[in-house]
């Protein structure tokens, strides 16, 4: 027996762990990814450069790992719905990864450039959450019938909750929804990764 989907499962686990590390590192930066007071976000970033650096790298590597997980999921499920969903999920993760190093860059430029970099990062993170939500809805529709039904339900719920977080650039109300959406979709990735890990081929 072999585990053909082991790399995809490991990528999923890595993506989840690094996202948790990134969020934990930002405890001294409470205004992160909130649109109401980006100058405060910049000031907190400058005051906590080590935490900001750890978070930037963890987010970036973790998001790329999630894109790899999405590709592996599409290969494992062999469903057009899952493939389309994985494209939205993976493309959103890579877009977000293009901006998660921006807070690190903001440590080395003047204030106006730093604010612009943080706004760019916020917009790309918003795009990720919207694309993630859409991707999870396609995945929920396309998951094979022999996969756990609960996995389909959780993808549907996480997708619906994640969609409005795509508007986080416009309001802290939408940004706060990430406190609910984040644990939901991270839990879904863990469950899907466990399922991939258990998949065997004779």
Q: Rounded CA gap, 179 and 185, in Å?
A: 11
| Model confidence band, residue 3 (pLDDT cutoffs 50, 70, 90) | confident
Q: What's the alpha-carbon Rg for the chain, to the nearest Å?
A: 17
Q: Is 185 exposed, middle or buried (0-12, 13-18, 19+ CB in 10 A)?
A: buried
Say what the pTM is. Answer: 0.94
Residue 2's pLDDT is 77
| Model confidence band, residue 118 (pLDDT cutoffs 50, 70, 90) | very high
103 contacts 94 by C-beta, under 8 angstroms = no
**What phi and psi values does residue 75 have, to the nearest 5 degrees?**
-65, -40
Q: Give the mean pLDDT of 91-114.
A: 96
1: pLDDT strictly greater than 90: no
How many residues appear in the chain?
202
| Model confidence band, residue 96 (pLDDT cutoffs 50, 70, 90) | very high
> What are the residue boundaries of the structural domains of the chain, listed by start?
6-198
Q: Rounded CA gap, 172 and 31, in Å?
A: 10
DSSP label at residue 78: -
How far is Cα of residue 8 from the mean position of the Cα atoms in its chain?
16
Residue 4's pLDDT is 87
DSSP label at residue 32: T
Residue 130's pLDDT is 97
Tokens of 60: 């970036």
Q: How far is CA 158 from CA 23, 46, 61, 118, 137, in A?
A: 19, 33, 22, 26, 8
Residue 50's pLDDT is 97
20: pLDDT strictly greater than 60: yes
Condensed to tens digits (0 to 9), the pLDDT of residues 133-163 reads 999 999 999 999 999 999 999 999 999 999 9
Condensed to tens digits (0 to 9), the pLDDT of residues 164-186 reads 999 999 999 999 999 999 999 99
Q: Rounded CA gap, 145 and 183, in Å?
A: 25
Q: Position of tokens 């795009």?
A: 127
202: pLDDT strictly greater than 50: no
Residue 201's pLDDT is 59
Sign of the four-CA dihedral 167, 170, 172, 28: positive
């Amino acid at each position: 027996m072999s585990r053909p989907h082991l790399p995809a499962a490991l990528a999923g686990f890595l993506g989840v762990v690094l996202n948790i590390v990134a969020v934990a590192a930002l405890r001294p930066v409470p205004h992160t990814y909130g649109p109401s007071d980006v100058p405060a976000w910049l000031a907190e970033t400058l005051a906590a450069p080590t935490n900001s650096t750890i978070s930037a790298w963890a987010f970036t590597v973790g998001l790329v790992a999630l894109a790899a997980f999405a590709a592996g999921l599409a290969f494992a499920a062999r469903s057009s719905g899952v493939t389309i969903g994985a494209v939205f999920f993976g493309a959103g993760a890579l877009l977000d990864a293009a901006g998660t190093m921006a807070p690190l860059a903001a440590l080395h430029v003047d204030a106006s450039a730093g604010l612009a970099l943080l706004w760019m990062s916020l917009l790309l993170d918003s795009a990720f959450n919207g694309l993630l939500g859409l991707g999870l809805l396609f995945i929920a529709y396309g998951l094979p019938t022999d996969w756990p039904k609960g996995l389909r339900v959780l993808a549907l719920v996480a997708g619906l909750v994640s969609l409005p977080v795509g508007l986080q650039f416009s309001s802290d109300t939408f940004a706060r929804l990430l406190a609910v959406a984040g644990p939901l979709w991270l839990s879904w990735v863990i469950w899907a990764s466990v399922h991939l890990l258990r998949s065997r081929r004779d």
